[in-house]
Chain A
Amino acid sequence: MKTESTGSLVVVGTGITVSGQMTLITESLLKTADIVLSVVTESALINLQMINSNVVCLRNLYEQGKSRALTYQKMTQRIVDEVKSGKKVVAAFYGHPGVFVNPSHVAIKQLKSEGYSAEMLPGISAEDCLVADLGLDPSHYGCQSYEATQFLLRQYTLDPHMMQIIWQIGSIADFTHNKHRTSHPGLTLLRDELLKYFSPSHKIIIYEASTIPIAAPRIEYLELRDLAAVIPKPITTMVIPSKGLPEFDMKTMTKLKLTPAIFEQQLFG
């Protein structure tokens, strides 16, 4: 580990809303950082600038049509360079800094391997907002969570007894990162794939977390058969509630000297 006089990194999340979901420890670290490198929304950036006068926005590294891998490399390099120059660096990302973010993980790994102090603090993610807004507990039926394009392009095994969360349904197979798409043929493919597991009338939820305090989240209930008619944004998420709990595994139950009746008695009294 390098000495205290050398640089250090703490990666933090600013939450999904403009300011109110930032944790107390994150705000404290931001106040005392030598430099804050940020990849957040414009409003969250203004909030950061109200906390620390030395905020550098890295969003200009994004370019339409340019490889994201290259953008992430540049972001990582800037974070690493600032730490190596001896600064106490805070890197702030939108939502949770470890969810749907690449440079945060890579910078920490690289700096740690070179003996620098580098850590990540949790932030409030879209999934946290989803659980709160929809009142769906992921532990109740279990939960499977995928990025939409990956879900379609890989041979995943979906368990319909679990709640399904499919992220970014408005960006299926969109490698240009176009925020203004008008056509979403991927939704038809997604619907057809899901019809292998669920009935056409199975209820689904279209969700977008609220980003400002005066706006409600987008919550639309519809049937799976109608998925292709949804007009999604890049941030839109789809939730498929569970079909219900699966049958008991009687072999394991016997090994634990339990029966369904005893198990339910233990759980519910």
Chain B
Amino acid sequence: MKDLLVRFLITMDKDAKLKQQYLKDPEGTAKAFGLSDEDVQLCAKNDVNAIKGRCEAEGADNLEISHSK
């Protein structure tokens, strides 16, 4: 696995219970998943932009601007 933070989000996106735990206790849930101290702090601070950046979660460059006839 390249990035445990991404794996954490992938797991959470399919697990409603884990997501609820995270929303109640981001720091504790991130730590329990085994994230690095640095990544635990991103979660604790709810630094959504940094986390999104790590995930490269927005598929903007995949979108098509179709001008075809």
Q: Is the CB of A213 within 8 A of B19?
A: yes
Give every chain A residue within 8 A of B23 (Cβ-Cβ). 214
Give every chain B residue within 8 A of A234 (Cβ-Cβ). 60-61, 63
Give every chain B residue within 8 A of A18 (Cβ-Cβ). 6, 9-10, 13, 55, 57
Q: Is the CB of A94 within 8 A of B10?
A: no
Q: Is the CB of B58 within 8 A of A41?
A: yes
B32 contacts A by Cβ under 8 Å: no
Q: Which chain B residue lies CB-closest to A50? A: B10
The secondary-structure label for the interface of chain A is loop
Given contacts A150-B66, A168-B65, contact A213 B9 (CB under 8 A): yes
Binds B, one of A2-10, A109-117, A173-181, A257-265: A173-181
Q: Is the CB of A235 within 8 A of B9?
A: no
Give every chain A residue within 8 A of B48 (Cβ-Cβ). 212, 214-215
Binds B, one of A95-103, A132-140, A189-197: A95-103
A211 contacts B by Cβ under 8 Å: yes
Given contacts A43-B10, A46-B7, contact A177 B61 (CB under 8 A): yes
The secondary-structure label for the interface of chain B is helix
Give every chain B residue within 8 A of A168 (Cβ-Cβ). 63, 65
CA distance A19 to B19 in the complex (A): 13
CA distance A168 to B55 in the complex (A): 21
Give every chain B residue within 8 A of A166 (Cβ-Cβ). none
Q: Mark A35-75, 1 if CB is under 8 A from B, else 0.
A: 00001111110110010000000010010000010001000
CA distance A175 to B67 in the complex (A): 10
Further pairs besides A68-B64, A213-B12, A235-B58: 7, Cβ < 8 Å:
A16-B59, A18-B57, A42-B6, A43-B10, A101-B64, A179-B60, A234-B61
